[in-house]
Structure 1
Amino acid sequence: MDSLRDIYAAKVASGELRGDAAQEAVLPLLDEVRAALKARANAKSGLLSLIGGLKKPAPVRGVYLWGGVGRGKSMLMDLFHENSPVASRRVHFHAFMQEIQSDIHEARKAGVSDAIQPSIAKVASDVRLLCFDEMQITDIADAMIVGRLFEGLFERGVTVVATSNRVPDDLYKDGLNRQLFMPFIALIKERMEVYHLHSPVDYRQGRLTGTPVYFQPVTDSVRVSIGDIWRDLTGGSGEKLTLKVKGRDVELPQFHNGVARATFWDLCGQMYGPADYLAIADAVKLLILEDIPRLGRNNFNEAKRFVTLIDALYEAKVRLVASAVDEPERLYVEGAGAFEFERTASRLREMQDADWGV
């Protein structure tokens, strides 16, 4: 089994990756986890499995990898997942928690007294390793069950490797009834090695250097350019991400490693409000927003939502790549709200700056 350090070095040598000392420093830790997982798998398949049936083995300690946006956390986790020696699943944390909440709902309908137990059993029967991207807790429903969920998974020998933009102590910060959430933070520190990836380079930002981020008007060539940016940032892979906001579903049609892609109508044609756009801004680090139309009295409600969306992205320092019918100052030129839109146009201009979000 080649080490992750060797695999990483080969990718650097081929030009697929750019060598980064901070990233390289994480690899020995991830290799230790791989080696422990492989040893556990070999022991279970051999004669030691007879002893293992009598005594529950200690779980393999996982990793909580946190740091700033674009530092390569997701890339390192993908490298680890792709070379896992055991059954592994890689999933965005939001998507995983939505699955769990759905399973719990079904279990309750079926009259199961402890509705979280079937979810724990199901996950533990499928994988030995869970790789979570973008671990963050914003929903109180998730906050109230995540401790029991992870405790149950750890007890069944599931190892967790996760990335996050937040140090564990800042998870669910200022959340309702946060004191009930604090044992989960302690559990993370007990069962996972907390590692700060402190790279000075934002590689996601670097990929956009010298690349236009606001395209107008929308033409076939613009659509090709937008598609090229999406593939460069995500490898062309993405899946729908559904965020739960106060019991509602807020959908991003395509999402991968903190990068989302949607049309104006996907996000502003729905009856979303400020809380929904704040949730999007919290989950997304770069948004590709396509087909922004002319705004005015004919789409007044959609225009108001667009203003709210841009405000949320701006305050959260989310990078924006957009295609529109016209320049920001000429998107909304008549009707109620045109004057107020001047601030939005100014923000759209500012968000085109190469240093935006740094």
Structure 2
Amino acid sequence: MSSSQPSPSKSAAQGPGSPIADAAPLSLSAREPHVPADRLVAEMVPPPRFDSVRFDTYIPDPKQPSQPEAVRVLSAFAAGLGSAPSAGKRRWFGKKAPAKATGPRGVYLDGGYGVGKTHLLASLWHATPAEPQLKAFGTFVELTNLVGALGFQQTVATLSGHRLLCIDEFELDDPGDTVLVSSLLSRLVESGVALAATSNTLPGKLGEGRFAAADFLREIQGLSAHFRPLRIDGEDYRHRGLPEAPPPYTDEQVTRAAHATAGASLDAFPELLDHLAKVHPSRYGALTDDLRAVCLTGVAPVPDQSTALRLVVLADRLYDREVPVLASGVPFDRLFSDEMLNGGYRKKYFRAISRLTALARDAKGLVAQ
């Protein structure tokens, strides 16, 4: 990754966790990361936030029996993936493919925001008895970015030897990409790769049975028979029993905190939005490399849908990497217009609000009391 930052001070050489005296904050807007395709493949593992999660660290809501049931089903699913080699590997050596396994070779976690679907998906990845290089984990966006970087056939070749592919936040609102990924998954299933996916029920459809599951299975066309829908009910754990996110701080407070925090970035929100338009979303993860905090001044409602969708991707990457966000301006629940929150991409916007709210709560300690 390259970025036009000033040379670090002598104290910066003490290590990434050391205080940096008199050093200017970093700037996301000055970073122009270049991410090779092999890094995209190597990073298809659960992100730092979910690196240590396991089934036994998932805390079910006692009011929601579907949550412990999901743990039971997924634990059994993981155990069943440790047996025979994939069909694709056997065909590669010219031998007869094994008989098809009984029951679905995929599972789809159907539920609303913050019920722990990503926690459970990452736990499934960790629990599957296979070497890390034989398991892949990524968001729907990261998977489409991988196809863009490698090409369709090379992506098939790269993933077909895997035991498991986990896809978080499957996007049901992009017909073109959904058909692309559906075709990819069909090829991988033929090679014996087991699949697991999550997506969000639209806010207006919560409580309407299996709307999201039916929508998912319809959109992935011929793959329906390979997936077992698994409903997970509950409220957003990020806000369950927790105080509301802190109100925005002043520009002065945010700027002071950025200068006082080693590894923090400081950007004016409008400039950052302009910069995101110049960086491919597949590089947003690299954009946040080595950041300890993101400080933003002048947060305001995003001006258009394209900008809003880029901000959603950045919010996801910051959340995955547990980077707190300190901001001045409007609260995060006012980032998106009513039209956006009632439109086809609303599930993305509600997810971003939920995650940015959690990161704002994490950032409270950066401000001197």
TM superposition score normalised by structure 1: 0.55
Supply the AA of the counterpart residue of 1:32. Answer: A
Checking the alignment, whether the CA contact within 8 Å between 2:107 and 2:195 is kept in structure 1 is: yes
Identity %: 22
Q: Distance in 2 between matches of 1:37 and 1:91?
A: 19
- Which of the pair is proportionally richer in strand? 1
Q: 1:24 to 1:220 in 2, by over 3 A?
A: farther
Checking the alignment, whether the CA contact within 8 Å between 2:254 and 2:295 is kept in structure 1 is: no
SS at match of 1:29: helix
Matched, 1:97 2:97: no
Matched, 1:212 2:246: yes
Q: Shift of the alpha carbon at 1:151? A: 0.5
| Counterpart position of 1:311 | 337
| Counterpart position of 1:154 | 189
Q: Distance in 1 between matches of 2:218 and 2:325?
A: 39
SS at match of 1:136: coil
Q: Distance in 2 between matches of 1:92 and 1:100?
A: 13
Q: Identify unmatched segments of 5+ residues in structure 2.
A: 1-53, 202-211, 264-275, 342-348, 361-369
Q: Distance in 1 between matches of 2:233 and 2:79?
A: 25
Q: Distance in 1 between matches of 2:236 and 2:287?
A: 19
Q: Shift of the alpha carbon at 1:23? A: 1.9
Q: Identify unmatched segments of 5+ residues in structure 1.
A: 1-6, 105-115, 172-181, 228-243, 296-305, 324-358
Q: 1:138 to 1:221 in 2, by over 3 A?
A: same
1:203-248 per-position Cα deviation (integer Å, ceiling 9, x unaligned) = 11237525524233326558999x9xxxxxxxxxxxxxxxx99x98
Q: Deviation above 6 Å: which 4+ runs of structure 1? A: 42-45, 222-225, 265-268, 285-288
Checking the alignment, whether the CA contact within 8 Å between 2:170 and 2:197 is kept in structure 1 is: yes
Paired residue for 2:96, among 54, 58, 66? 54
Matched, 1:84 2:115: no
Q: Distance in 1 between matches of 2:173 and 2:197?
A: 16
Q: Distance in 2 between matches of 1:224 and 1:85?
A: 44
**1:37-52 matched pairs, under 5 angstroms:** 37-41=81-85
Matched, 1:145 2:173: no
SS at match of 2:107: strand
Give the number of the structure with larger relative contact order, counting CA–CA contacts within 8 Å between residues 6 or more apart. 2
**1:334-353 matched pairs, under 5 angstroms:** none
Paired residue for 1:170, among 191, 212, 215? 215
Q: Distance in 1 between matches of 2:95 and 2:157?
A: 17
Q: 1:282 to 1:145 in 2, by over 3 A?
A: same
CA RMSD in angstroms, aligned pairs only: 4.7
SS at match of 2:239: helix
Structure with higher Rg: it is: 1
**Corresponding pairs, count:** 252
Checking the alignment, whether the CA contact within 8 Å between 2:117 and 2:198 is kept in structure 1 is: yes
Checking the alignment, whether the CA contact within 8 Å between 1:23 and 1:76 is kept in structure 2 is: no
Q: Shift of the alpha carbon at 1:164? A: 0.9
Q: Distance in 1 between matches of 2:73 and 2:284?
A: 34
Supply the AA of the counterpart residue of 1:170. Answer: D
| Counterpart position of 1:117 | 153
